[in-house]
Chains A and B, each alone.
Chain A
Amino acid sequence: MKIKVDERGYYGNFGGAYIPEMLYPNVEELRDNYEAITSDPDFKKQFDQLLKDYVGRPTPLYLAERLSEHYGAKIYLKREDLCHTGAHKVNNTIGQILLAQRLGKKKIIAETGAGQHGVATATVCALMGVECIVYMGEVDMARQKPNVERMRILGAEVRPATSGSKTLKDATNEAMRHWINNPTDTHYIIGSVVGPHPYPEMVARFQSVISAEIRTQLKEKEGTELPNYVVACVGGGSNAAGAFYNYYDEEEVALVAVEAAGLGNTTGKSAATTTLGKPGILHGSKTLLMQTEDGQVVEPYSISAGLDYPGIGPVHAHLFETGRGTFYSVTDEEAMKAGIQLSRLEGIIPAIESAHAFAALNQMSLKPDDLVVINLSGRGDKDLETYIKWGKY
């Protein structure tokens, strides 16, 4: 089975571009130009250079010996937490700002949940001297305060999304509305593999550097490019898509996607889309979606603002439907424990999003000679307040 986007932007039954006409010219411009622009040698050179000198790539592939010993398998961590700005999100924003420049766009907008994508966007806008507005749910602004101030220090304007549930979904609505109102001079940097085609595929390609590096690094360390498992958390699914991308068609590599189960999947306070969702349409694509019988989008819940989204990228809905991906869900409690465990065993405080990926190790039946790569998507600095409130360390 090949995992590939088709001409109309579908991965199997999921994807597409479900947008009002007001967004059509912008999305069409992107769709018609992104492949030519991103495959241009000049673009590639600049992108690779910035990833190397500015972001600090390649990020290490680190053999976590004490964690390996604990779980009885050989576990490598892909250290996206060591990227400039502290998470994988910057791989995408570097790509998109270079694209926006080539499209002649003068202003940038973005949505953010945890604030990591907002910070990564504010960062590249500062780097390029471009005006930047970031929409963030009012609720998220309160729980991710340090990132709000980081964006402001970087010169971005942070606009609270006060509609609906005031979280990531609503920040995305507001960013789309802003784009409708400013169609010619503005580029919308979406932060995950969501949105109308071509965003999901474009963002996945910018993030695919993660799995390209894993293959090279694993070959050096283990003599094979192919681990038994690649594990990543899924909010919208960009770090997972990046970690899976160059393994989609390697059937012997299990792709393990970990969703947030909040207080538990039967409590009504969860964000585990593949468990609780049905096919539906939100933010421009057909995907799995948490919704009522009437088709109203349900408010998800997770302790982690970056996983608190009622959908997943269409490629993940496809991986789920076809069985190519294995999906687990992890509660707040399990994730927090895994975060503390990683801190104690390896001296690495992970982002709470990433901690979900580590908690899934408890649900996998690992064998001693299994090779596991976990995508450590971000560092925990932004989550200190949540760790402190949690307290059990």
Chain B
Amino acid sequence: MTNQKEIVSKAEMNRIEKLFQTKPNRVLNVYFTAGYPKLDDTVSILKALEASGADLIEIGIPFSDPVADGPTIQASNDVALNNGMTLKLLMEQLKDVRQKVSVPIVLMGYINPIVQYGIERFCEDCAARGIDGLILPDLPMFEYLEVYKPIFEKNGLLNTFLITPQTSEARIREIDNNTSGFIYMVSSASTTGAKTGISEEQEAYFKRVNSMGLKNPRLIGFGISNKETFDKACKNANGAIIGSAFIKVLGQEGDMEANINEFVNGVIR
């Protein structure tokens, strides 16, 4: 059964797809943890990021056991949870986010809070708020294909899978076939925020993947922290993702908006 809403959502191009069509290079995606540093900062951070030139924003749903994250993002998760952040509250905060910002937004989260919220309800609530995509790093591919994909698609949500330097070529192809929006290229074998700088070995991996002719755009994340690393990443991908370094900015003293503006401009300038 096709209803009016579905026809409309298919006709409108997803904001992430539109972004890569109009800006195939130097896309800056910035991650922050919802509920950090203060419970109600979500919308102000989104606005400040959009105003200062971020192209894509990734909102992290805090989790008690973020195994893929290093100390900085772990700490932001702890603070957010102690502040009282929940997925329900985040959905509340995002209720009329599309009246405030038009930048593409993806939600990133470990699977358990989403399973408890209910996957159908979660996707419907995302769609109602104008969320464009999801990154669920511990969702197995087969379960995505068999259970989640139809629900994502019905709600106009794109799905990003990750690849790492250890991912085999065959699996990169498989991921490329099942990703929509963009591929998240983890820059090195590490948790978030662990390494500084980009080595020649990493650049070789960026080049190797760049030459594979993948269908999806690629954003490089983990260890991207400033203009230098952003520029290096952009040489062999469509852009990059900054997480831990931005969380540190949010933790700084002073006017948050000004800090965000200064940081983002320092990176993309």
Task: Tell me which of B67, B162, B171 contacts A176 (CB under 8 A).
Answer: B67
A184-196 CB contact bits vs B (8 Å, 1 = yes)? 1000000000000
Within 8 Å CB of B191, what residues of A? 22, 177, 180-181
Q: Are A295 and B68 in contact (CB under 8 A)?
A: no
> Smallest Cβ distance from B200 to chain A, in angstroms?
18
A294 close to B167 (CB less than 8 A): no
8 Å CB interface, B29-88 against A? 63-71, 74, 78, 81, 86-88
| A residues less than 8 Å from B142 (CB atoms) | 8
Does B3 have its Cβ within 8 Å of any Cβ on chain A?
no
The answer to whether B140 touches A181, judged by C-beta atoms less than 8 angstroms apart, is no
Interface-side segment among A11-19, A39-47, A300-308, A343-351: A11-19
Q: Are A21 and B78 interface neighbours, CB within 8 A?
A: no
- With contacts A18-B140, A24-B167 known, is A280 near B67, CB below 8 A? no
Question: Which of A19, A181, A296, A297 meets B190, CB within 8 Å?
Answer: A181
Please give the residue numbers on chain A whose beta carbons come within 8 Å of chain B beta carbons, in ascending order: 8, 16-22, 24-25, 163-164, 169, 173, 176-177, 180-184, 278-284, 289, 291, 293-297
B112→A281 contact, CB < 8 A? yes
Q: Which residue of chain A lies nearest to B69 when distances are taken between CB atoms in the complex? A: A177
Contact A281 B67 (CB under 8 A): no
Per-residue interface assignment for chain B, residues 93 to 119, with 1 indicating a CB less than 8 Å from any chain A CB and 0 otherwise? 000000000000000001111111100
Chain B binding surface, main DSSP class: loop
Contacts of B116 in A (CB 8 A): 278, 280, 291, 293-295
Q: A289-B112, A297-B65 are in contact. List 10 more A-B contacts (CB 8 A).
A: A18-B138, A21-B167, A21-B186, A22-B186, A22-B189, A177-B70, A294-B86, A294-B88, A296-B113, A297-B112
Complex Cα gap A291–B63 (Å): 11
- CA separation between A284 and B140, bound complex, in Å? 10
Question: Any chain A CB within 8 A of the CB of B161?
Answer: yes
B81 adjacent to A296 (CB under 8 Å): yes
Residues of A within 8 A of B202 (CB): none
Known: A21-B162, A180-B189, A181-B189. A294 touches B65 (CB 8 A): no
B163 within 8 A of A: yes
CB pair B138 A20 closer than 8 Å: yes
Among B110, B138, B168, residue most surrounded by chain A Cβ atoms (within 10 Å) = B138
Query: For residue A169, which residues in chain B have a CB less than 8 angstroms away from its CB?
Result: 65
B74 → A minimal CB distance (Å): 6
B96 to chain A, nearest CB (A): 22
Return B150 CB to nearest CB of chain A, in Å: 19
Which residue of chain A is the closest to B186 with respect to CB atoms?
A22
Residues of chain A within 8 A (CB-CB) of B66 are: 173
With a 10 A CB-CB cut-off, give which of A16, A17, A173, A281 has the most chain B CB atoms.
Answer: A281
- In the docked arrangement, what's the CA distance between A180 and B71, Å? 14
Q: Which residues on the A side are within 8 Å of B137 (C-beta)?
A: 20-21
Chain B residues within 8 Å of A173, by CB: 65-67
Q: Chain A's nearest CB lies how many Å from the CB of B42?
A: 16
Please name 26 pairs of A and B residues whose Cβ atoms are closer than 8 Å in the assembled complex, sorted by A: A16-B140, A21-B162, A21-B163, A21-B186, A22-B164, A22-B166, A24-B164, A24-B171, A25-B168, A163-B71, A163-B78, A164-B64, A173-B67, A177-B69, A177-B191, A280-B115, A281-B115, A283-B65, A284-B138, A289-B112, A291-B112, A293-B116, A295-B112, A295-B115, A295-B116, A296-B64
Q: Is the CB of B186 within 8 A of A164?
A: no
Which chain B residues border A17 with CB–CB below 8 Å?
140
CB under 8 Å from chain A, chain B span 114-135: 114-117
Distance from A4 Cβ to chain B, minimum over Cβ atoms (Å): 19
Docked pose: A18 CA to B110 CA in angstroms:
10
- State the Cβ distance, B179 to closest chain A Cβ, in Å: 11
Q: Are A281 and B190 in contact (CB under 8 A)?
A: no
- Whether B140 lies near A22 (C-beta < 8 A) is no
B249 within 8 A of A: no
Say whether A295 contacts B186, CB under 8 Å. no
Interface residue? B214 (CB, 8 A): no
From A181, which residue of chain B is reached at the shortest CB distance? B190
Nearest residue (CB) in A for B71 is A163
The reply to whether the CB of B139 lies closer than 8 angstroms to some CB of chain A is yes
Closest 7 CB pairs of A and B: A295-B113, A295-B116, A21-B162, A20-B137, A294-B86, A20-B68, A296-B64
Q: By the criterion CB–CB under 8 Å, are B163 and A182 in contact?
A: no
Contact among B67, B117, B194 for A20, CB-based, below 8 A: B67
Give the distance to chain A from B114, nearest Cβ to Cβ, in Å: 7
Contact with A along B157-174 (1 / 0, CB 8 A): 000011110111001000
Given A18-B139, A21-B186, residue A281 in contact with residue B111 (CB < 8 A): yes
Residue numbers in B under 8 Å from A18 (CB-CB): 111, 138-140
A180 close to B68 (CB less than 8 A): yes
Q: What residues of A have a CB within 8 angstroms of the CB of B81 in the complex?
A: 296
Closest to A26 in B: B166
Give the residues in chain A near B166, CB-CB below 8 Å: 22, 24-25, 183-184
**Which chain A residues border B140 with CB–CB below 8 Å?**
16-19
Q: Decide: A20 and B114 in contact? CB cutoff 8 A.
A: no
Contacts of A20 in B (CB 8 A): 67-68, 137-138, 162
